[in-house]
Structure 1
Amino acid sequence: MRVAFAAESFLPQVNGVTNSVLRMLEHLQAQGHEALVLAPAAAGRVPKQYAGFPVVTLSSVGLPGYSDVRVNTAPRFMIDRTLADFRPDVVHLAAPFAIGYKAALSAARLNIPSVGIYQTEIATYATQYGFPALEPVFWYRLRQAHQLATLNFAPSTYARDQLMEQGIPRVGIWARGVDSVRFHPDKRDEELRREWAPNGEKIVGYMGRLAAEKRVQDLSAIADIPGIKLVIIGDGPSRAELEQQLPGAIFLGMKGGEELPRCLASFDLFVHTGELETFGQSIQEAEASGLPVIAPRRGGPIDLVKPSHNGWLYEPGRLDQLRGHVLDLVGDDFKRQAFGRTARANVEYRTWPFICGQLVEHYEEAIKMGVRIPRLTNSTR
């Protein structure tokens, strides 16, 4: 099989979109398939290849206030020519918006089936970053891209329903995998814990991007709970402001390699505050590390957190509920540890090879269906 990826995000930027594309490339390479990546040029150096597959960069600019989201500025004929030369069996549209939309148009024009993978609630981000008038515009573009795809997949039931409410057809669910060997409770480091919490405090952690849409400032609702220590993994544009708002927290910055799972497994409890998660990969990695999770009852966490089994969900904006759930779990060692064991058991089978194998089957389904897209109209050109 020959698969062309049109990725809205790629290395050196590391996020959920990039991560899932990298895992798919590794899987395709291991299974003897061929692939090519179309990716936005960025400030950092984009690799010329990954897993032995070529990476073609396209000119792009960052969205105002959110430079990590790249808007493709390359003419579509460049994408037409690249796809025509590569002759893929299927085009993987990774979080299609700019490059993905043009690639969807090219695929339809060239009669190549495509699979749209919804991953980022970019339309709602517009409101978070002070541009509410852009939200319906962004949804219009997302509809255009996904309506062109042969098949579409959302990462959670909430995201699937969201797409269907927007009139997007042919939507299924493709979740995400987790490396349950890399993220494991056995990597808990007691020496590291003593460094963070010399007085034996319970360690309540967060991992993710430090940006407005993640609502990390909501951790202030639990910062004064006696006997806990807040530890935050990640970086982003809001870090300086958050360090002022959470003066007692330990900010570790970005972590990678074996240091990341060691830090994560050394938490006692994981709190995720973002309300715009289509999936929540950091939640899944925390659960693989044996941690109970507290998260908002919106988006991907609804599928990942089962109240009274592996954590708690709170209503978005109800920080009193967030605080109550933290008090419940830090105050009950037996319950917290039982929730952590259940969390691990629920995700350890969701390996990336298993999840990637599912997507290859979806590719095959799209190829069998062929291109069943109506003739392009002015509204989609």
Structure 2
Amino acid sequence: MRVAIVAESFLPNVNGVVNSVLRVLEYLRRNGHEAVVIAPGARDHQEEIFEYEGFRIMRVPTIEMPGINSLPIGVPLPGVLKELSRFRPDVVHLASPFVLGAAGAFAAKALNVPCVAVFQTDVAGFAKNYKLKALINATWQWTRAFHNQCALTLAPSSLTIGELEAHGIRNVYHWGRGVDTDRFHPCKRSEAVRESWLREGDQLRRAVGKPSSVPLMERRIVGFVGRLAAEKSVARLRALNDREDVQLVVVGDGPDEGLLRQELPTAVFTGGMYGDDLPQAYASLDVFVHTGQFETFCQAIQEAHASGVPAIAPAAGGPVDLIAPGVNGYLLEVDSFERDLPGAVDAILETGLATMRAHALMTVQGKTWDGLCEQLMGYYAQAMGLRVAAQNQRFTPLVRTQNAAATPRRSQDRQLSGRPGQRGGGSPHVA
């Protein structure tokens, strides 16, 4: 199969969209398929790459979205249509489409190539969080327009499927995310790393006049892993600022780091972590807290669970499918998240840490990327089949009878439900 991936984000950026695309490319290479990637170029301070797994990367210019520094935009150029025409894909995969991805959708339609859109970034949520409310309706109108040019839209969670369908997006199916359970594993826990965090945190406490009376090695480590940007709402961790028995650790970098250091003066900030350091950091936590409410999935929760770490997150978006309250973590209402966070941490640390660690690990068993990519190939085939069916219908003389004319659209939906994956709107298979 020949797959063209139009990605709204790609290396050297590291985020959930990029991670998913890399895993798909690796699967395609292992299984003898061909691919090309069309993606935004690197920003000024970043080194650009032009191939991955032997697949060519076509770059387009990048601009920053005004007021949203964590959402760089690839500029759609006529070269997108030219590249797709040259490569002659069997299917076009849109990874978190919005601007460049929308151009890919319209180009694919012009070339009569089936398109599968993977919804991963809640741009309307970004607009709301950055106080750009006037753009929310326009964002959904634009999202609906180009997603409905695609044969299928794939969404990572049940709540996201419902939201997309509520905004008029058709043919939405569930596609979750895999996790590397060899890389992220409880055995990566490091007592040396934990001690270094506790000692650094102790120094910070003394520097701001808030020393702890709890013995150093008896303090528990509660952490966040992710990009330090406004939409992640990391400042909600301040609810734990005054806990003498808790050491906050923030793993990641981003534009809000300076502000967060002021909001969380006793927290240890590690900066961005990659390679072997990242799974070691996850496994060395006692509790993982994800603070953002606009996650369509939240891969960080899966990585924490694979590391044997229970998670706390807002009861919104992707985390709702990943956390079973009281089993592998807790979901907190968005409006009362800060107020409820200390109690949720206590519930894990005082009554259920060992059991929740075991359940967290069990949660991700079997969620391999190979399995998810096999499901994705099924969706590709489904999209290709829909195109062939549409072509056959277009060129087959249509004899209308009274019964045929009255056949409801829902009958088509029933036929589709037997294809790979689970259709949104019924009882989707959740992650």
Instruction: Say whether the fold is shared (TM-score over 0.5).
Output: yes
- Residues in 1 aligned to 2:164 and 2:315: alpha-carbon distance in whole angstroms: 18
Distance (whole Å) between structure 2 residues aligned to residue 141 and residue 61 of structure 1: 19
In structure 1, the residue matched to 2:305 is: 287
The corresponding residue for 2:115 is 114
Deviation at 1:141, TM superposition (A): 1.4
Structure 1 equivalent of residue 204 of structure 2: none
Letter in 1 for 2:47: R
- How much does 1:80 deviate? 1.5
Structure 2 residue aligned with 1:13: 13
Residue ranges of structure 2 left out of the alignment (5+ in a row): 200-215, 395-431
Q: 2:18 & 2:312 partners in 1: Cα distance? A: 25
Larger Rg: 2
Query: Given the alignment, which residue of 260, 280, 286 partners 1:262?
Result: 280
Deviations 1:327-361 (A, max 9, x none): 222223xx111111111111031111111111111
Partner of 1:91: 92
Partner of 1:235: 253
Q: CA deviation at 1:19?
A: 0.8
- Superposition pairs of residues 54-73 of structure 1, within 5 angstroms: 54-73=56-75
Aligned partners of 1:210 and 1:234 also within 8 Å: yes
Matches for 1:190-201 after TM superposition, within 5 Å: 190-198=191-199, 199-200=216-217, 201=219
Q: Report the residue type matching 2:344 in the other structure.
A: H
2:350 is matched with 331
Q: Mark the CA change 1:269 to 1:39 in structure 2 (over 3 Å): closer, same or farther.
A: same
| Aligned partners of 1:156 and 1:175 also within 8 Å | yes
Distance in structure 2 (CA, Å) of the matches to 1:58 and 1:267: 39
Does residue 1:277 correspond to 2:266, yes or no?
no
Q: Which one of the candidate residues 351, 354, 358 is aligned to 1:341? A: 358
CA distance in 1, matches of 2:225, 2:135: 29
Paired residue for 2:328?
310
User: Larger deviation: 262-271 or 122-131?
Assistant: 122-131
5 Å-filtered alignment, 1:1-381, equals 1-43=1-43, 44-75=46-77, 77-198=78-199, 199-200=216-217, 201-318=219-336, 319-332=338-351, 335-370=352-387, 372=390
Query: Per-residue CA shift, 1:10-55, capped at 9, x if unaligned?
Result: 1111111111011100100000000000001231233110110000
Q: Deviations over 1:53-104 (max 9, x none)?
A: 00001123110122342333343x3211111110000000111111111110
What's the secondary structure of 1:370's corresponding residue? helix
Partners of 1:222 and 1:326 within 8 A in 2: no
Give the aligned residue type for 1:6.
Answer: V
Residue 364 (structure 1) shift: 1.1
Distance of 2:69 and 2:166 partners within structure 1:
29
Inter-partner Cα distance in structure 2 for 1:342 and 1:71: 39
Q: Aligned to 1:9, what secondary structure does the other structure show?
A: coil
Alpha carbons 1:265, 1:291 under 8 Å: kept: yes
Aligned-residue CA RMSD (Å)? 1.6
Task: Determine if contact 2:224/2:289 at 8 Å carries over to the other structure.
Answer: yes
Deviations 1:289-325 (A, max 9, x none): 0011111100000000001111111100212222210
For 1:379, the equivalent position in structure 2 comes to none
Instruction: For 2:47 and 2:387, locate their aligned partners in 1 and report how far apart those are by CA, in whole Å.
Output: 36
Query: Taking every aligned residue pair, what percent have the same amino acid on both sides?
Result: 44
Give me the whole-angstrom Cα distance separating, in 1, the residues matched to 2:70 and 2:343: 35
Tell me by how many angstroms 1:145 deviates. Answer: 1.6
Q: Which moved more, 1:56-65 or 1:21-30?
A: 56-65
CA displacement 1:128-154 (0-9 Å, x = unmatched): 123211111111111112101101110
User: With structure 2 as the length reference, what TM-score do the two structures score?
Assistant: 0.84
Q: Deviations over 1:167-215 (max 9, x none)?
A: 0000011001100000000111111112222502100011011111111
Are 2:190 and 2:284, in contact at CA under 8 Å, matched by a contact in 1?
yes
SS of the equivalent of 2:195 reads: helix
Query: 2:192 is aligned with what amino acid?
Result: E
- In 1, are the aligned partners of 2:76 and 2:103 still within 8 Å (CA)? no
Matches of 1:25 and 1:260 in 2, distance apart?
22
Instruction: Judge which range, 21-30 or 38-47, deviates more.
Output: 38-47
Aligned mates of 2:19, 2:312 — CA distance in 1:
23
State the secondary structure of the residue aligned to 2:325. coil
Amino acid of the residue matched to residue 143 of structure 1? Answer: R
- Contact 2:39–2:74 (CA<8 Å) still a contact in 1? no
Tell me the distance in 1 between the aligned counterparts of 2:115 and 2:98.
14
**TM-score normalised by length of structure 1:** 0.95
- Structure 2 distance, partners of 1:292, 1:74, is 41
- Cα pair 2:117 2:147 within 8 Å, conserved: yes
Give, as a single letter, the amino acid of the residue that structure 2 aligns with 1:250.
V
Amino acid corresponding to residue 31 of structure 2 in structure 1: Q
Could you report, residue by residue, the CA deviation over 1:223-277 in whole angstroms, capped at 9, with x for unpaired residues?
A: 2123110011001111001001101100001001111111110101111111000
Contact conserved, 1:10 with 1:39, CA < 8 A, in 2? yes
Structure 1, unmatched stretches of 5+, are 376-381
Q: Are the structure 2 counterparts of residues 33 and 202 from structure 1 closer, same or farther at C-alpha, using a change threshold of 3 Å?
A: same
